[in-house]
Amino acid sequence: MPQMPRKAVFPVAGLGTRFLPATKAVPKEMLTVVDKPVIQYAVEEAAEAGIEHFIFVTGRGKGAIEDHFDIAYELEATLKARGKTAEIAQLEASRPAAGTASFVRQQEPLGLGHAVWCARDIVGNEPFVLALPDMLILSPRGCFAQMMDVYRAHGGNVIAVEEVPHEHVHRYGVVALEQKLDERTHRIAGMVEKPKREEAPSNLIISGRYILQPEIFARLETQKPGAGGEIQLTDAMIALVAEQAFHAYRFEGTTYDCGDKIGFLAANVALALSRPDIEPAFRPLLERLIGR
Ligand code: G1P
């Protein structure tokens, strides 16, 4: 069995300009989907898959993320004094244990590849998972837990992919497949970041969940800027395809792109409808709103 990933990297330095003015003083990763910040869904998905250490690549103005994963001592003391045990349990369940969260700053907005590279010293020489928290995935079994099974069976690198309408491919990294390993898993022949629609090799996009080998860091170190003038993770992965196996895994689940207003609203509705504590009261209201 390959060495299993123990650490997860969460790039959270992005400015969130698509959500201004909401993100002027609040990091976009702290926007709420139902009753949790967006970032917490990705952290819980990683924890469910057995991840033990959580690395956040932050930037200026992102202090609320560190506070969110810390103990809010005064708040918890007050809740305790008032006998609010359910609320305390909720807070305890949502934070990493002491010493299992690390924060490193990406000092300049040079791209996703650069953000990942900023985590190199904390990750060290071992495989790791990478989650782009904007992509919220709703599935009965977490996307990372599914990917760990693929990794256990095939090793190498594993990238979660999904089909999108062909007219949307230019917004994403797109993969080209070769050998089929099982119903949902293929070897990757190549990748391209933000291709023109007519040049995309498929309509299978990279969905923001990766299991990567540490050799990616050496590639990122010398990676030249690509699409959008940014240092692209996809370009560094392309450079490694000749040396390491990359597997595309079509996960079971639905993705909501919370970096986009419509995706964010859809995530709120979908998550609310998936919650037994909220759905019964919410559904009739929603149906009335849409005029059913
Ligand atoms: C990044 C990746 C891209 C991936 C996308 C998923 O792009 O570079 O390959 O498809 O996330 O959201 P970004 O959204 O940062 O432009």
Q: What is the pLDDT of residues 44-54, one digit of tens each?
A: 999 999 999 99
Each residue of 245-291: pLDDT tens digit? Answer: 999 999 999 999 999 999 999 999 999 999 999 999 999 999 999 98
Residue 116 lies in a domain: yes
CA 32 to ligand 1 center in whole angstroms = 21
Amino acid at 196: K
Q: Which two tokens stand for residue 10?
A: 């969460």
Q: Report the distance separating Cα 157 and Cα 155, nearest Å.
A: 6
pLDDT for res 233: 98
pLDDT for res 93: 87
State yes or no: pLDDT of 292 exceeds 80: no
pLDDT for res 94: 87
Residue whose CA lies nearest to ligand 1 atom number 7: 172
What is the total count of domains within the chain? 1
Residue 36 lies in a domain: yes
Residue 1 lies in a domain: no
Q: What is the DSSP string of 30-64?
A: GSEETTEEHHHHHHHHHHHTT--EEEEEE-TT-HH
Pocket of ligand 1 (CB under 6 A): 112, 132, 135, 172-173, 193, 205-206, 208, 232-234
- Exposed/middle/buried for residue 116 (C-beta within 10 Å: 0-12, 13-18, 19+): buried
Residue whose CA lies nearest to ligand 1 atom number 14: 172
Q: What is the mean pLDDT of residues 19-40?
A: 95
Q: Report the distance separating Cα 219 and Cα 235, nearest Å.
A: 9
Residue 57 lies in a domain: yes
State the closest ligand 1 atom to the C-alpha of 257, by its place in the atom list counted from 1: 12
Residue 248 lies in a domain: yes
Residue 2 lies in a domain: no
Q: What is the pTM of this model?
A: 0.96
Which domain range does residue 143 map to? 7-291
Residue 193 lies in a domain: yes
CATH number at residue 30: 3.90.550.10
Residue 217 lies in a domain: yes
